[in-house]
Amino acid sequence: MFEDQQSWTSVSLFGVFVALLLLHLLHSNFNSDKKPEPPGPRPVPLFGNLFQLNLKRLDQSLLNLSKKYGPVFQVSFGPQKVVVLAGYRTVRQALVNQAVEFGNREITPAFFVINKGYGLVLSNGDSWKEMRRFALATLRDFGMGKKMSEEIIIEECNYLIKEFEQFEGHIFDKTKAVHYAVTNVISALMFGKRFEYKDPVFQAVVDRDNEIIHLVGTASLWLYNVFPWLGPFLKNCRDLIKNVEGNKVDVRKIIADLKKTLNPEVCRCFVDAFLIRRKHLEDSENKILHYHDDNLLYSVLNLLQGGNDTTANTLKWSLLYMTKYPLIQARVQEELSRVVGSRQVQTEDRKNLPYTDAVIHETQRLANILPMAILHATSKDVTFQGYFISEGTTVVPLLTSVLYDESEWESPHSFNPSHFLDKEGKFIRRDAFIPFSAGRRACIGESLARMELFLFFTSLLQHFRFTPPPGVSEDELDLTPVVGFTLCPRPQNLCVVRRN
């Protein structure tokens, strides 16, 4: 009897095994048309892949994973799946060739603190489309990237040169003046005026902007994005809110003053253009859905932040690289002296300054100011390189992997201006040079930033030579970045010497 029972149990187990096998085969056949998801490391419940990522240098962690899992892979930030795009060809295919599918913005909890879903950068839908369209048209009307903005930049170059003259022959680490100069350019377009570098309100706005961008890239803010309930317990989160609210108060005051003196017949600046546009819509009894105070405030804040941090930090990197590589600095200055002489550099001189132009581009490439593009999200279900990515998935275009792509750059980890020069020494464009990102979400102020970098850099190199402080060699200068959402150079002493 026991043998019969044992036999029956074996038959039952075999039957269960066969049934499970059939169910698996049926399920596999039923889902045979479903595209596989991108590969990636195995997540653990609740925490996902957080223990496998270095949140203090997230771009490097993701770059290392791309070498194992390929150019399209996924990781889990807690319970949330995130798709990472690595390498020039993959990033371009997504952001340019499939721009609509990858064109939404992921609004993380930290991003919501900054913008509340309004403005130009951290928004989606019709509001974003209208604000971007308006901003592009208005900035072009005010000469962004043209002669009018060139005059604004050249005027500010003179103020910055005077600031640097105070340190002639002495050690200095006061690079905040670079941020003030760059911010004044966008301030002239936003508010129709520049500010004195010693203006305490102006200093506070600029310093808060820099702190906001730094905080958003810290490890604790990445954790806040995954577990928002941690916010009240995180100092960086409290500091982010404090800085955002402080800047909102100060910028609202500037906007309020412009409202009081508004003349609809005379458009002085971006704020005026917005207010005049709103008044025209009101007078014609059209809906003014997107032309409200929140979109004005956050659009101005976006442009101030974007017009300050990345351009100023690129200029700071350029001065550090010139100090680190004195032979390159000398060659830039020889070209400037030969082509321009002592007169003010103009934008049109760029075509006759190929080596200088190559040095500026190589600074942008190697400095890698924005290692990860601001987070994207898919606008619909999409099949990409054979992988299925569902609508609403967070996407990280890894710009580090583009600017350091070993299949695109001859010496990706070295400062090499020859990346942008042909055999005859003429400047050449490189497709994989996308420090401003690409596609629908590319930097709205790219043309202005390019003009600023050229004019500020050449003006400073015309007037000054940059050296390490006494007792410090070029080799001892530290190129390790301070990591936030952008990468900026570490504070360190340099010497500025007036050129004869």
- With H, G, I as helix, E, B as strand and everything else as coil, classify residue 141: helix
Annotated binding site for heme: 443
Does pLDDT of 24 surpass 80? Answer: no
349 vs 113: CA distance, rounded Å: 43
Q: Is it the case that residue 26 has pLDDT exceeding 70?
A: no
Percent of the chain with pLDDT over 70: 92
How many other CB atoms are found less than 10 A from the CB of residue 239? 18
CB atoms within 10 A of CB 176: 15
DSSP 8-class letter at 124: -
DSSP 350: G
Query: Which residues, listed in sequence order, are joined to residue 231 by a DSSP beta bridge?
Result: none
Q: Which domains can be identified in the chain, with CATH numbers?
A: 35-498 (1.10.630.10)
Complete edge-to-edge strand list for the sheet that includes strand 171-172: 171-172, 494-498, 464-467
Beta carbons of 109 and 420 less than 8 angstroms apart: no
pLDDT at 114: 96
Q: What is the pLDDT of residue 16?
A: 43
Q: Is the pLDDT of residue 396 over 80?
A: yes
Mean pLDDT of 248-268: 96
Instruction: Write down the mean pLDDT value for the chain.
Output: 91
- Which pLDDT band, with edges at 50, 70 and 90, does 11 fall under? very low
Instruction: Name the H helices within 175-269.
Output: 176-191, 200-216, 219-226, 235-260
Binding residues: 443
pLDDT, residue 34, reads: 66
All residues at 6 or more sequence positions from 45 whose CB lies less than 8 Å from its CB, including other chains: none
Q: What is the mean pLDDT of residues 336-364?
A: 97
Asked if pLDDT for residue 381 goes beyond 50, the answer is: yes
**Average pLDDT of the residues in 173-190:** 91
pLDDT, one tens digit per residue, over 451-498 is: 999 999 999 999 999 999 999 999 999 999 999 999 999 988 899 999
Which stretch of DSSP H or E encloses residue 67? Answer: helix 58-69
- Counting DSSP H helices and E strands in the chain, the numbers are 16, 12
* Structure tokens that stand for 181 in this block: 């100069």
pLDDT band at 229 (very low <50, low <70, confident <90, very high): very high
Q: In this predicted model, what pLDDT tens digit does every residue of 52-80 receive, in sequence order?
A: 999 999 999 999 999 999 999 999 999 99
pLDDT the model gives residue 29: 43
pLDDT at 355 over 90: yes
**Residue 174, pLDDT score:** 62
Report how far residue 131's alpha carbon sits from residue 31's, in angstroms, rounded to the nearest whole number. 42
Pairwise CA distance, residues 363 & 427, whole Å = 15
**Banded model confidence at residue 306, pLDDT cuts 50, 70, 90:** confident
Phi, psi of 103 (to 5 degrees): -95, 0
Phi, psi of 213 (to 5 degrees): -65, -35
SS3 assignment, position 171: strand
pLDDT at 1 over 50: no
- pLDDT over 90, % of the chain: 84
pLDDT (average), residues 135-155: 88
Query: Has residue 136 got a pLDDT over 70?
Result: yes
Q: How far apart are CA 271 and CA 251, in angstroms?
A: 11
User: C-alpha angle 60/487/325, rounded to 5°?
Assistant: 100
Average pLDDT rounded to a whole number, residues 346-374: 97
CA distance 358 to 457: 12
Res 354 pLDDT > 90: yes
pLDDT-based confidence at residue 251 (cuts at 50, 70, 90): very high
Give dist(CA 414, CA 469) in Å, integer: 24
- Enter the tokens of residue 416: 């090499």
